[in-house]
Amino acid sequence: MSTDTTDADNDLRERITNFLRRNFPQIQMHGGSAAISHLDRESGEVTIQLGGACSGCGISPMTIQAIKSRMVKEIPEIETVHADTGAGAGADGDLGGTSSGGMSPSFPGETTDDGGDDEGPQAPF
């Protein structure tokens, strides 16, 4: 790898990092983190790993979708964005819920007994 290629990769990494900081400050403000886990400048692919509080956060799939759609618009060298929280189902922005595994949300007062009488969760007060 030439020095020019290394400099170009470092410049692209810095622009991606700045893009994430500028456009998604809530990731860090809420105790999460975002890091580039893979970058292929030739194919225009980048993989972003969200960690910390992002793992298990109900909003992370929407954050991932926003990162994917906005990064390709703002950084011309990037054509494909892969993002993951490492939390399993839906972590790659799959809002359709077609992935298997993962946890279902639970609410205070809700029981796991499925007696067929679905009145919804009970209020905690």
SS (H, E, C) 60-112: HHHHHHHHHHHHHHHCCCCCEEEEECCCCCCCCCCCCCCCCCCCCCCCCCCCC
Look-up of token digits 């939390």: 87
In a domain, 99, yes or no: no
Look-up of token digits 């007696």: 115
Per-residue pLDDT of the chain (125 residues; tens, 9 = 90+): 567 778 888 999 999 999 999 999 999 899 999 999 999 999 999 999 999 999 888 899 999 999 999 999 999 999 999 998 876 533 333 333 333 333 333 334 444 455 555 554 555 54
Number of H helices, E strands in the chain: 3, 3
In a domain, 122, yes or no: no
- What is the number of domains present in the chain? 1
In a domain, 91, yes or no: no
SS3 state at 97:
coil
Please give the residue range of the domain that contains residue 26: 3-84
Strands 32-40 and 80-84: unpaired
pTM beyond cutoff 0.75:
no
pLDDT single digits (tens) 4-40: 778 888 999 999 999 999 999 999 899 999 999 999 9
CATH of the domain at 61: 3.30.300.130
In a domain, 9, yes or no: yes
Amino acid in position 67 = I
